Amino acid sequence: MDQALNNIPDLLRELNEIGIALSAEKDHDRLLELILVKAMDITNSDGGTLYVCTNEKSLKFEILHNRSLAVHKGGTSGEEILLPPISLYDDEGNTNNKMVAAYAVNSEQTVNIEDAYINEDFDFSGTRNFDKKMGYRSTSFLTVPMTNHEHDIIGVLQLINTIDKNTNKIISFSALDQQLIESLASQAAVTISNKTLINAQKNLFDSFIQLIATAIDEKSPYTAKHCRRVPAITDMLADATNKIDRGPLKDFSMNDNEMYELNVAAWLHDCGKITTPEYVVDKSTKLETIFDRINLVDIRFEVLKRDAVITALKAIVKENKDCDDIDKELENNSALKNRLKELDDERIEIEKYNIGGESLLDNDLKRIKELSENVYENSVGESVHLLNDNEVENLQVARGTLNRKEREIINNHVSMTIKMLESLPYPKHLKNVPEFAGCHHEKMDGTGYPNKLKGNQMSIPARMIAIADIFEALTAGDRPYKKGMSLSRALKILGRMKLENHIDPDLFDVFIDKKIYLIYAKEHLNKDQIDEINFQDIPGYNPLN
């Protein structure tokens, strides 16, 4: 007894060190393993079991250890425990007081048993069967409910066969053993509850982020899944860059918190689009606003054709008032037929210009202006040009479908993203989210937006999101103005952007070298987009050395 008292300072110090270790451990399985192993160490126990309470009002075997039998199941072992859960209640709803672990939970009391083989209070038949099979004798038991700071029992810590260090014989658990393990169980329960709460808050935060991203994607059928795909590409690029052992980025590394921070930023990179009008995001043709104004242009062409027919009719009446077959006369009117065909051809031209393409030449711009000069008479007798100034401006958009003002509205989504994200009270490990997310349209040469940052003003993670955003946009098959590109064409465009100093050149080389484009394509792109890649055809690509 005196020796035990003399060891108390050492035991208390060890208990304190265990508490610190428990608080530092983040992995759930390792945490539970640490609790059981340290409890066995303190009491010099040969065996131990850790149970967790389930929502089904039962105790699940989480970890099972036995040192002399070299048994280790559950926890970090990777070996599943096949024993069925222990029910806390019977079929009639009465408390299960025959199983010692269940009794410890139901009574909220520690159970200290000197010898299970002579104990008549609990059912140890399962233990005896195990012993018979393994050639073992489970004698002393210490079963402690794990109660947290809210007085909820979250599990049970059970130790078996404490060994006397001097005689190496099985002895009963002392009162000091019981006090120490009860203290450890309480610390462990609070730690587990805190970790569970933190994980629950993280899951809620992650779900909320994905909810926002889904809302943005659902806002437009043409950007569906964009906010989901960009994080997928970003994570792949970050993981590859983290593991690379050659090239300019071989010394770059990110820890788990930094990887998570980048993932959050990638999910939220377009959150500012929640303020962007749908008619701009969804603009599938150059003349589209709330509706596609090409339909109005079609009606105007019909008016022009009507005017042409009326003019021809007036000429017929003027020349031959007694004409009996007007339809035949019009059918044989070559000037009218030529004019109607000319109008149909011009309508087809405007419909072609209304589709967003890669680029317009100067001759195209001049032709649009010429077509707009057609004049028709409106309902009040006024002479009106076929196309108004706004329609001409939209049709003359060189690339895509957005005019200058609409492009500014779209570009403003990044400023809104930054403004929204900077307003949030981040914990320390997420403080870079606004910077990572807000740079996805910046360029290495400083010609991007909204802040015209240059490469050295942006972090490497921010540049990763920029590449992911561009690649997803190039290959996406759900845009209103284009089809999804093939891999070879998308990589050529990315390569040219590298040479033009628009994207990070080193990250681009990692993206190609580690075939991130192909890994992503196999999961997210149509099979007809996955074509053969000739690395010599990719501009600017330098294999990593």
Q: Residue 362: what pLDDT?
A: 85
Residue with the bigger pLDDT between 20 and 234: it is 234
DSSP of 170-181, one letter per residue?
Answer: EEPPPHHHHHHH
Say whether pLDDT at 171 is over 80.
Answer: yes
SS (H, E, C) 409-467: HHHHHHHHHHHHHHCCCCCHHHCCHHHHHHCCCCCCECCCCCCCCEHHHCCHHHHHHHH
Lowest mean pLDDT among 17-21, 159-163, 247-251, 302-306: 17-21
pLDDT at 323: 60
Quick: pLDDT tens for 478-505: 555 567 789 999 999 999 999 999 999 9
What residue type is 92 in one-letter code?
Answer: E
Mean pLDDT over the full length of the chain: 87
> Which residues make beta-bridge pairs with 89?
95
Tell me the domain boundaries of the chain: 2-197, 220-281+405-537, 294-384
CA dihedral 439, 440, 441, 443 (to 10 degrees): 70
Task: Give the best-scoring range by mean pLDDT among 208-212, 306-310, 399-403.
Answer: 208-212
Which range in 17-31, 58-72, 376-390, 412-426 is most confidently predicted, on average pLDDT? 58-72
Average pLDDT over residues 183-195: 84
450 cis-preceded (ω within 30 degrees of 0): yes
175 pLDDT more than 50: yes
Is pLDDT larger for residue 216 or for residue 366? 366
Placement of tokens 């939209």 in the chain: 394
CB 129 within 8 A of CB 135: no
Q: Indicate if the pLDDT at residue 7 is higher than 80.
A: no
The burial of 482, by beta-carbon neighbours within 10 Å (0-12 exposed, 13-18 middle, 19 or more buried), is given as middle
Confidence of residue 305 (pLDDT cuts 50, 70, 90): confident
Identify the burial level of 288 via C-beta atoms within 10 angstroms of its C-beta, where 0-12 means exposed, 13-18 middle and 19 or more buried: buried
pLDDT digits (tens, 9 = 90+) for 87-101: 999 888 899 999 999
Over residues 422-447, the pLDDT tens digits come to 999 999 999 999 999 999 999 999 99
Decide if 92 contacts 117 (C-beta within 8 A): no
What is the torsional sign of CA 112, 118, 122, 124? positive
Could you tell me the two tokens for 199?
């994980």
Q: Is the pLDDT of residue 4 over 70?
A: no
Residue 1: pLDDT band (50, 70, 90) is very low
Give me the mean pLDDT over the 139-151 stretch.
Answer: 91
Q: Which CATH architecture best describes the domain 220-281+405-537? A: Orthogonal Bundle (1.10)
What one-character-per-residue DSSP string does 316-383 give? HHHH-TT-S-HHHHHHT-HHHHHHHHHHHHHHHHHHHHHB--S---HHHHHHHHHHHT-EEE-TTS-E
- What is the model's pLDDT at position 2? 45
The enclosing H or E element of 71 equals: strand 71-74
Considering the four listed CATH numbers 2.60.40.1180, 3.30.70.660, 3.40.50.300, 3.30.450.40, the one that applies to the domain covering 2-197 is: 3.30.450.40
Q: In the numeric block, which tokens belong to residue 514?
A: 């580690």
Query: Average pLDDT for residues 355-363, to the nearest whole number?
Result: 78
Give, for 310, the enclosing helix (H) or strand (E).
helix 294-319
Residue 298 CB contacts under 8 Å (≥ 6 apart), including other chains:
347
Report helix, strand or coil for 86: strand
- Determine the 3-state secondary structure of 165 from DSSP: coil
Which carries the bigger pLDDT value, residue 366 or residue 334?
366
Residues 6+ apart with CB under 8 A from 294: 285, 287, 350, 351, 354
Phi then psi for residue 200, to 5 deg, are: -65, -40
| Mean pLDDT of all residues in 271-299 | 77
Q: What is the largest distance, in Å, between two alpha-carbon atoms of the chain?
A: 137
Ordered DSSP codes for 241-270 = HHH--SSTTTT----HHHHHHHHHHHHHTT
Confidence band of 420 (pLDDT split at 50, 70, 90): very high
Structure tokens at 384: 């009106």
